[in-house]
Amino acid sequence: MPTDRQPPPLPPRSPDLKKTKEWEDEEDYENQRNSSKDTDQLIPEKKEEDNSTFRRKVQREERRQKTQDQIDRMKKKQRESELWRNRRSYLAPIAIGTTLLIGGLLLYYYYF
């Protein structure tokens, strides 16, 4: 999961503006609503808390990713060691048989 994703910012809170006789045109109403100077006072100051919460979420995701990577590496190493163990179990009898065959041939040529 990407760590730079954060939720979109909330729109600024504005007072409940209702159309009156003065604002007959919708554009004027929208312009008045958007240009309200009181919106800065209505937004609660939670930026530090939001940043720390976001930072904790990012760190949590990083820890999860690191842990998952470590688990994947351990599983890969375990699979490789099991493969080698299985190959070695096949190679040991072959090596013993080959050694006996070569030894038998050497003894045959040496004594006969």
Query: Could you tell me which residues come within 8 angstroms of residue 40 by beta carbon, excluding any fewer than 6 positions away?
Result: 12
Q: With CA atoms as reference, report the closest residue to 10 among 53, 33, 52, 39.
A: 39
Q: With CA atoms as reference, report the closest residue to 58 among 8, 3, 9, 1.
A: 3
Q: Is residue 73 part of a domain?
A: yes
Q: Is residue 8 part of a domain?
A: no
Q: Is residue 10 part of a domain?
A: no
Query: Could you tell me which residues come within 8 angstroms of residue 6 by beta carbon, excluding any fewer than 6 positions away?
Result: 54
Which residue segment(s) compose the domain that 49 sits in?
A: 45-111
Q: Is residue 24 part of a domain?
A: no
pLDDT of residue 23: 46
Render pLDDT for 10-64 as a digit per residue (tens, 0 to 9): 887 766 555 445 545 555 555 555 555 555 555 555 555 578 889 999 999 999 9
Q: Is residue 84 part of a domain?
A: yes
Q: Is residue 89 part of a domain?
A: yes
Count of structural domains within the chain: 1
Output 41 or 4, whichever has higher pLDDT: 4
